[in-house]
Amino acid sequence: METPESFLPFALPDIGPEEIEAVAESLRSGWVTTGPRARAFEEEFAAHLGVPEAVAVNSATAGLHLALEALGIGPGDLVLTTTNTFTATAEVVRYLGADIVLADIDDRTMNLSATTVRQALAELDQTAPERAARLKAMIPVHFGGQACPMEELMAIAAERGLRVVEDAAHALPCTAGGQPAGTLGDVGVFSFYATKTMTTGEGGMAVTADRDLAARMRRMRLHGINREVWDRYVARSASWYYEVVAPGFKYNLPDPAAAMGRVQLRRLSAMWNRRRTIAERYLEAFAQDPRLILPWPVRPEDVHAWHLFVVRLVRADRDRFVEGMARRGIGTSVHFIPLHLHPYWRDRYGYRPEQFPVALRSYRQSVSLPIYSRMTDGDVERVIAAVFQALDEAEE
Ligand SMILES: Cc1ncc(COP(=O)(O)O)c(C=O)c1O
């Protein structure tokens, strides 16, 4: 086999001179914590999605935590989510002393569906009816940038009196029934981690139409103080005075990161177009190969963020395939190792691997291919050629 000329990473951020200049300008200004750029970023993000409130935070994990806290989730409560997610979605539930209830995924989309949620609810009602009353919220995760069936999930939430926090970490830009994902539940939380469709290095945004929830999240992201740092700074009188009204957290987004986020938001549509072009090329190239299950198409009126491009291998050994790709200098990843297989979640709730058979099978078959705006056409063709070769080698 010929030696690859260079390694193509699984993911890379798309940071150009505008981002660098915006961060430098923020540093030169002397205001390096949360300030006017974070405020402007919130306003621009809210306007972009058409939501009244956006609260900038230093990670999506922080945003999810704040959202559940603002909704009053506490010790003894239960929150339903998918097993096919990153541990952040679930760990925030434990921060609050509450517990999770996991549901399996739809085989086509790898997302929660009305069927899998109803199955999980039926099992909870049957096995622990006294605990079922403590089920307070649901966290749908828009896996890979494809929206969950929000209309159906919101209907179930209404039936059961559940609050809904959308984990929209992958979902920018992404729509469900033509509406932006993240704006359909009580709160939606986006991630600006380095690999996401736009990045601030680390960062996130919680959006909501509920001004009280937004006010609570703003307060709790900064120590439970009743005024923002920036407000104190610009206030004409008594700028030293503040009141602590709750034991809050330290989750604010610094201005240099917000400055980068503002540029990334302006470039989001162009970066997404490139991801979409790459996804279309992959779909075309792999369409005729029966050894691959390709991402399920979104509804015609909807948008896929293409944060991930996950293929599932029908007749090949996944681990050998990943090794074959690596030998050809191509980084891949696996999304996700289902939560119920991880020791902490498995042992806390006594989950068995087969308890969520679709997630288990999907996990064993899944590989995420590189998809990001900095990839050249040559990179994309290199991935495609490597996939066919690695498939031949890994066939069972
Ligand atoms: C589905 C999901 N939710 C939440 C997060 C947490 O995001 P952050 O790293 O911004 O805290 C991630 C991170 O990768 C994720 O994939």
The string of pLDDT tens digits covering residues 276-333 is 999 999 999 999 999 999 999 999 999 999 999 999 999 999 999 999 999 999 999 9
pTM above 0.85, yes or no: yes
pLDDT at 232: 66
Whether 1 has a pLDDT exceeding 90, the answer reads no
Ligand 1 centre to CA of 85 (Å) is: 9
pLDDT number for residue 242: 85
Q: Which of 141, 195, 210, 150 is nearest to 171 (CA)?
A: 141
For residues 364 and 302, the answer to whether their CB atoms sit within 8 Å is: no
Percent of the chain predicted with pLDDT > 70: 96
Going by pLDDT thresholds of 50, 70 and 90, the confidence category of residue 136 is: very high
Using the atom order of ligand 1, give the atom closest to the CA of residue 203: 10
Ligand 1 atom closest to Cα of residue 61 = 11
pLDDT score of 92: 98
Q: Closest Cα to atom 16, ligand 1: which residue?
A: 86
Percent of the chain with pLDDT over 90: 93
In this model, does residue 370 exceed pLDDT 90?
yes
* Closest among 259, 247, 187 to 222, alpha carbons compared: 247
Residue 146 has pLDDT above 90, yes or no: yes
127 Cα: distance to centroid of ligand 1 (angstroms): 31
Domain 268-394 has CATH 3.30.530.20: no
For residues 236-254, give the mean pLDDT: 88
pLDDT at 235 over 70: no
Confidence class of residue 239 from pLDDT cuts 50, 70 and 90?
confident
DSSP code, position 182: T
Residue-level pLDDT at 396 = 82
Averaged pLDDT for residues 43-61 = 98
In DSSP notation, 375-393 reads: --HHHHHHHHHHHHHHHHH
Q: Which of 10, 93, 141, 193 to mutate to test the pocket of ligand 1 (most atoms within 8 A of CB)?
A: 193
For the chain, give every domain's residue range.
Answer: 17-266, 268-394
Ligand 1 atom nearest the C-alpha of 335 is 16
User: What is the CATH number assigned to the segment(s) 17-266?
Assistant: 3.40.640.10
- Which residues on neighbouring strands pair with residue 366, listed in sequence order? 312
Q: Distance between CA atoms of 120 and 213, rounded to whole angstroms? A: 28
- Per residue in 332-364, pLDDT tens? 999 999 999 999 999 999 999 999 999 999 999
Average pLDDT taken over every residue of the chain: 96
Structure tokens at 219: 């307060």
The values of phi and psi at residue 165, to 5°, are: -115, 120
Residues with CB under 6 A from ligand 1: 59-61, 85-86, 88-89, 141, 167, 169-170, 191, 193, 204
Average pLDDT of the residues in 94-99: 98
